[in-house]
Amino acid sequence: MDFRKLRVIFFGMSSRYTVDVLEKVAEKHDLVGIVESAPRHMNINATLPSRKTVAKRVVGKLLKGVMKSYRLSDVAKRNNVPYFYMTQDNLQALEIWLRSQRADIGCVASLSQLLKLDIIKIFPKGIINLHPALLPKYRGPNPWFWTYYEMERTGGVTVHYIDAGEDTGDILLQSEFPIPLGMTFTEMNDIAIRLGADLMVQALNEIVRDIQQPKTQRHLKTLPRARNIKRDEPLIDWENWPIERVWHMLKGSQPWLDALPPPSSPLQGLCSWQIQGYEKIRISGGAYGKVFKDSQGWYVALPEGRIRLKVNFRIRALLGKLATKVLTF
């Protein structure tokens, strides 16, 4: 199929979700700039980094040699394109920078803040976003978590235009996939990235040929906002949820929810629970949601049975902590 390429500026964060989609887009269209969104509430007037922070950065660079870098500044260097670090305090400078790149369209895959209309209007063909849910469901910053919480058995991705609202812009394309019971977040993320990258490229191809068929969704009803959560929020009903729902939730929500107390270990912060299988057996006593140990190992107790646990050591974090101690000695 012969058509001209779009000049694209990609917005995102330093994560696999952003980078894998970005690189797929860069294969088919002209990537002319990358904008990285700073974490929420961060500003450019931060104090100088501590010695420990500098050491961690050094460790990160050392570890980068044995694994792919998902730092967007590194991705920009690999693709030989300009890079801009966006905060709440430099939006005026961002506007000037964006205009200088003369891009046709913006693409977004994960962003910590909503883009203002002044930014959107810079792009002749607007800005499109990859949202990891089937809009209008789960509008908001954390659709992943609420997909698990509501025990959805069908997930999906949506490419839509960005407007002044939160995930309310016209829908361009959608793709869905099944969510089997016990699917981990990593497994779901892998599928969403693969489908979403293809969908983003397809949307760009349709836009450049002017055959896109956007569907209005702002008027459609939706579930409550997919808000961010605090890691220690007590969101699991240990006494009343079926064991299958608790198990599914634990398998998928670990990136966001500390539902279980961490393993007791001298390596505090360097190990976590790995969720295993579950066994149905009537348990009485009321200590539901607590971690115990028997002859077979660790488990969390529920009225309907036990969910087995295994201690998982985070090797990269361990190496990083040891190296940081050496560098800051």
- Residue indicated by tokens 């050591």: 313
Q: Are 163 and 127 in contact (CB under 8 A)?
A: no
What is the longest distance spanned by two Cα atoms in the chain?
69
Q: Are 42 and 218 in contact (CB under 8 A)?
A: no
Q: Give CA separation, 303 vs 260, 283, 294, 300, 306, in Å.
A: 16, 5, 17, 10, 8
pLDDT of residue 280: 94
E-state strands within the chain: 7-12, 30-37, 83-86, 105-109, 127-131, 154-161, 171-178, 271-280, 291-294, 297-302, 305-313
Model pTM?
0.87
Q: Which domains does the chain have, with CATH numbers?
A: 7-208 (3.40.50.170), 243-324 (no CATH)
pLDDT of residue 3: 65
pLDDT of residue 12: 97
Q: Are 235 and 229 in contact (CB under 8 A)?
A: yes
pLDDT of residue 291: 93
Give the residues across from 298 on adjacent strands.
293, 309
Please, which residues have CB within 8 angstroms of residue 174's CB and are 6 or more apart in sequence?
134, 135, 156, 157, 158, 159, 199
Task: Quote the CA–CA distance of 163 and 166 in Å, as a whole number.
Answer: 8
Give the residues across from 232 on adjacent strands.
none
Task: Quote the CA–CA distance of 274 and 253 in Å, as a whole number.
Answer: 12
pLDDT of residue 328: 43
pLDDT of residue 103: 98
pLDDT of residue 125: 98
Please, which residues have CB within 8 angstroms of residue 48's CB and are 6 or more apart in sequence?
none
Digitized pLDDT (tens) for each residue of the chain, 329 residues in all: 446 899 999 999 999 999 999 999 999 999 999 999 988 655 444 444 455 554 455 445 544 444 578 999 999 999 999 999 999 899 999 999 999 999 999 999 999 889 999 999 999 999 999 999 999 999 999 999 999 999 999 999 999 999 999 999 999 999 999 999 999 999 999 999 999 999 999 999 999 999 999 999 999 988 789 999 999 999 999 999 999 999 999 999 988 999 998 887 665 667 889 999 999 998 777 789 999 999 999 999 999 999 999 998 865 544 544 444 444 44
Tell me the pLDDT tens digit for each residue of 93-126: 999 999 999 999 999 999 988 999 999 999 999 9
pLDDT of residue 322: 46
Task: Quote the CA–CA distance of 218 and 129 in Å, as a whole number.
Answer: 15
The HSE-up count of residue 148 (CA atoms within 13 Å, CB side) is 26
